[in-house]
Amino acid sequence: MQASFWQQKWQNSELGFHLPEPHPKLVRHIGRLGLKPGDRVFLPLCGKSLDIAWLLQQGFKVVGAEWVQQAVEQLFAELGVEPTITQIGQLSRYSAHQLDILVGDIFAVDADTLGLVDAVYDRAALVALPADKRILYSRHLAAISGFSPQLLISFEYDQSLLSGPPFSVSPEEVKAHYQDMFTLELLESKAIKGGLKGKCPADEQAWLLSAKS
């Protein structure tokens, strides 16, 4: 899945993945991450998610990574803030009070560029990547975030019925990617009303990943 794919999605306003409200599973389960006001939360492949504004309203700092510059420009415009833009190697950093977004390939983000994070909220990254990239991504994300706890949202459905993204990532695959690095807890699994994109039955799952001691 190349950046050009997502750029085309934004240019065509094909934003079915963009929810009109903070994700209910984030609201329900944020407390399980053990955060306190002022802690910094990382959102990989964040788009212009309303989850960002919600997290800021809760008193958290937010850092995101996003392929598509247009999405980030819209995010700051909708927040009503003017970002400071700096170049860091292959990445551009858009910054405002309590908020940093890194624009570019997430695999170009390293721990120094990301900075200290206290938790990761992955709503749309793992499920956006094809299988071969998911293997690389899960390791990369854990490494750059310092094995911080994660709240992960995934989908499970018959992949033959829908090409994705979002892709189906079964519980077995989640465990294969993460169980050697984290203790996994399935917080909830619920059928999506009307099916995924209205096309096929699917379950949406929320996972808590806690670093092993």
* CA-based nearest residue to 37, from 158, 148, 118, 96: 118
Can you tell me the distance from the alpha carbon of 91 to that of 180, in angstroms, rounded to the nearest whole number? 30
- Sequential DSSP letters for the chain: --HHHHHHHHHTT--TT--SS--HHHHHHGGGG---TT-EEEEET-TT-HHHHHHHHTT-EEEEEES-HHHHHHHHHHHT-PPEEEEETTEEEEEETTEEEEES-GGG--HHHH---SEEEESSSGGGS-HHHHHHHHHHHHHHTTT--EEEEEEEE-GGG---SSPP--HHHHHHHHTTTEEEEEEEEEEPTT-BTTTB-EEEEEEEEEE--
Annotated binding residues for S-adenosyl-L-methionine, as ranges?
10, 45, 66, 123
Do the beta carbons of residue 42 and residue 126 sit within 8 Å? no
Annotated binding residues, as ranges?
10, 45, 66, 123
